Structure 1
Amino acid sequence: MLEFTLYEYDPDNADDYVDTLYLGDGSCQTVNVAKFVDGSNKKAELYYKSSSDGTSVTVYD
């Protein structure tokens, strides 16, 4: 099981912590990021940090 910490990038302020997820290989998780939508493009710019190098995620909008 890997730990993924999700953040919302903000160029003008400190990045916002969104959530921490614990996922096994092939597992899925849904995260509501509506409250992190901001800026003129009305989108949440997200990134994650993982407990292991070489991980990847697939994001659906």
Structure 2
Amino acid sequence: MSLGPYASFVVISYALVAAVVVILIVWITIDYRRHQERLGELEARGVVRRSGRGAADIR
């Protein structure tokens, strides 16, 4: 299979895009876990979410 004269450019481009996608997935996973931990700390201190009070009933 021949990709032509631009094969190195195409392969490097796909590799960089794949690396960026992996980095974003890792970053989002770490951020999600950090936010879940922070929410757990706040709920342990007694802080409740506004949406948990029956926000639909307030209208």
TM-score by length of 1: 0.17
Greater fraction strand: 1
Greater fraction helix: 2
Greater RCO, 1 or 2 (C-alpha within 8 Å, sep 6+): 1
TM-score by length of 2: 0.17
